[in-house]
Amino acid sequence: MSLTGIRTGKRGEELAAAYLKDAGYRILERNFRCLFGEIDIVAEEGETLVFVEVKSRRSGTFGDPQLAVGREKQKKISRISLHYLAERRLCHRPARFDVVAVRLLPAGHRIELIRNAFELSFG
């Protein structure tokens, strides 16, 4: 990933975290890493654990940011979330997957929260 891509991703994650806090989420972790990969944000909304994937774009060249969370990415996030739940002994908690799409535009940023963006995905 290019330096510009890394900056875009980090800026998008900062904006997404602030947006989620304003929406009533409690941020538990950012950039949770394990042997399966990384989840951008782990949060709580009420009693529900929320695994959040943040996708950011500076233009529409590659389409809507949320479209980058395809089937393979969903499987990877599912695997990481199961590891997180098991490691912290939280398997009894309700959980879901949200996606935050961030457009970093010169005229202003646009943030879209997609709740329950996908179901737990295997295989």
Contacts with 31 (C-beta within 8 Å, 6 or more apart), sequence order = 13, 38, 39, 40
Q: What is the largest CA-CA distance in the chain?
A: 44
**What pTM does this model have?**
0.89
Nearest to 54 by CA among 67, 70, 41: 41
Within 10 Å of residue 6's Cβ, how many Cβ atoms?
Answer: 10
What pLDDT digit, counting tens, does each position of 88-111 carry?
Answer: 999 999 999 999 999 888 888 899
What pLDDT digit, counting tens, does each position of 13-68 carry?
Answer: 999 999 999 999 999 999 999 999 999 999 999 999 999 999 887 766 555 667 66
Domains of the chain are 1-30+41-63+95-123 (3.40.1350.10)
How many angstroms separate the CA atoms of 14 and 8, rounded?
10
Pairing between β-strand 108-118 and β-strand 26-34 as defined by DSSP bridges: unpaired
